[in-house]
A and B are shown apart, each in its own frame.
Chain A
Amino acid sequence: MTPNQSVAALLFVPVMAVAVATAPSQGKEGQAPPKFALDAALVLSPEFCETKFTKGSTMSGKETFEVGKAACESLEPALKTAFSNLARVDAESASGSAQVVLLPRFVDVGATRTVGAFSDRELIVLVEWTAKDAQARTVWIATVQGAAKRNMGNVFTAGKNRRRIVEDSLKDLAKQSAAKMLAAQEIRDLVR
């Protein structure tokens, strides 16, 4: 073995050792996390789906973010990845025999503004989730943040860019919500 080969071997062995040690915790690539074997009801009320936040002032210019509409398009498909059976209902009273009832509530929206049309702005949306069991007892609450970045846009594109950043942040929020629910021990306990 040449000196170079020896150095390469010394570097290679620790890297392999680390790879072997971490492999079991990574799981199989591309494999979706297991769903909860639960009948879930997702409560998307008309009021929630119509939620809008207006930010800014008369001096800086007001902007309206139609977060409710985008949320009601994104949440159902995302949460179907977390529960074996998920039904969308428009009121908690319509949740029927669901084992877990999921209630979202908007907390706030934060939107930065930029000076240039081509600079990225950030939009964050906060939603508070409440999960109730079949006896209507709260078993879990969590606040989830969705975020997205996009160009502010010029006078012609600002409106379209605003709609897109809202859609992107709500898609992110829906994905984060599903992940947070799947990690919740208190929801997992309802499966038993």
Chain B
Amino acid sequence: MHRNASWPVGGLIVLLLAGSLYAADQWPDYPVRAIGDYPNSMTTGGLTIAVEPLEDQKAQKTHFNTEFGKKGFLPVLVVIQNASNSDSFLIAKDKITYGFADGALSTPEAKSKAGSIVGGASLAALSLGGAVFAMKLISNATKVQQNILKKELQSNTLSPGASTHGFLYVPVPKEGSRARLLLRFLVARVGSDETLSVELQF
């Protein structure tokens, strides 16, 4: 009788294990569209940067097998395209900063204020941020962590006509509605002292 009763429990454990292993390989890449299709983008000096915050928890679960909001992060897809015919650009992660924007930042004159808000916090130091909280979430946390790392935006050189994309994991309050966020990208043009500054709010 006891032996028979243990079968459903054992079977359930096997199914759960198999399910989690199967799921680990089933987190598809988030679809990336043509850069012109993103409503939140900015073009300057031949460089276009677009951002799309991934707020939908269902989509987060599909592509990352985790929910970021409860742990105080928001994944933001960044797509960057170099439409220049001759110039290359350096996308360095330690030159990407974030902050909370206020209403005044919507005017071009407020850029310096935005800089002071954003300047202190670099996303380069947050590589592990997303990973650390993933560790605490679920049993196959290391696979979730690996997936978060693989999908992260990394430093790169954009040659003429090239594009790149990836996620940034921006800290946000765990509860309540979030304030408007601002991302600032400082991008250097290869072979010159020129640095482009691109700021996007969402």
Taking CB atoms, residues of chain A closer than 8 Å to B145 are 110
The number of residue pairs between A and B whose CB atoms lie closer than 8 Å in the complex comes to 62
Of the candidate stretches B27-35, B146-154, B178-186, the one touching chain A is B146-154
| Contact for B156 among A111, A113, A143, CB less than 8 A | A143
Contact between A143 and B88 (Cβ–Cβ < 8 Å)?
A: no
Q: In the complex, A111 Cα to B92 Cα: how many Å?
A: 24
When A108-B149, A126-B154, A186-B88 are in contact, do A139 and B191 touch as well, CB less than 8 Å?
yes
When A108-B128, A110-B150, A141-B90 are in contact, do A186 and B17 touch as well, CB less than 8 Å?
no
Q: In the complex, how many residues of chain B place their beta carbon closer than 8 angstroms to a beta carbon of chain A?
A: 25
Taking CB atoms, residues of chain B closer than 8 Å to A140 are 88, 90, 157, 190
- Which residue from chain A places its CB closest to the CB of B136 in the assembled complex? A57
Taking CB atoms, residues of chain B closer than 8 Å to A157 are none
- Which residue from chain A places its CB closest to the CB of B157 in the assembled complex? A140
Contact between B155 and A185 (Cβ–Cβ < 8 Å)?
A: no
- Which residue from chain A places its CB closest to the CB of B88 in the assembled complex? A186
Taking CB atoms, residues of chain B closer than 8 Å to A57 are 135
- Which residue from chain B places its CB closest to the CB of A183 in the assembled complex? B159
Contact between A141 and B146 (Cβ–Cβ < 8 Å)?
A: no
- A134: CB under 8 A from chain B? no
Within 8 A of A (CB), among B138-188: 141-143, 145-146, 149-150, 154-157, 159, 188
Known A-B contacts: A128-B155, A143-B155, A186-B159. Give 20 more (CB < 8 A): A107-B154, A108-B131, A110-B131, A110-B142, A110-B149, A111-B142, A111-B146, A112-B142, A113-B142, A122-B146, A126-B149, A138-B190, A140-B90, A141-B91, A141-B92, A141-B157, A145-B150, A184-B157, A185-B159, A186-B157
Interface residues of B (CB under 8 A from A): 17, 88, 90-93, 127-128, 131, 135, 141-143, 145-146, 149-150, 154-157, 159, 188, 190-191
